Structure formats: C-alpha cells, structure tokens
Amino acid sequence: MKRPVEQALRAIAAKRLKKMLDELPRVSSTRGESTTDFLRIQRMNWDGRSLDCLEGLIPPRP
C-alpha cells in the first residue's frame, strides 16, 4: 500500500515542478524578479512559511 502512495505523490510533485519550471521568468533583469526570488516565493506558497524562515531567521514550524 505504501508504494502506490509514494508513486502517486512523486507524480504529483513532478507535475508541479514541470509547471513551475514552465512559469520561470526568462531573463528578468528588466522585470525586477530574479529566478531565485521566484523560486523562494514558490517555496513560500507551497508550504506556508515566510521568506524569513527560508533565510534561517525564524525557526520552522513544528
């Protein structure tokens, strides 16, 4: 039972990653958003943590 669940979760994660990569900004120096900023914002949206937490300034939620 564990194996099918893992496979399903991997498939969902792969689909989300492909979508996110398609949305990555192209050369964005004129837009003001770097790829790193985009990825950090996506990470924050996915797990609900603030960017400060990703920088190590706030301990992660238990």
Looking at the chain, how many residues does it have? 62
51: Cβ–Cβ under 8 A, 6 or more apart, which residues? 40, 41, 44
pLDDT for residue 27: 60
What are the tens digits of pLDDT across the range 5-56? 888 888 898 888 888 777 776 665 555 667 777 777 777 777 766 656 655 5
The Cβ of residue 53 has, within 10 Å, a number of other Cβ atoms equal to 16
C-alpha span between 15 and 8 (Å, rounded): 11
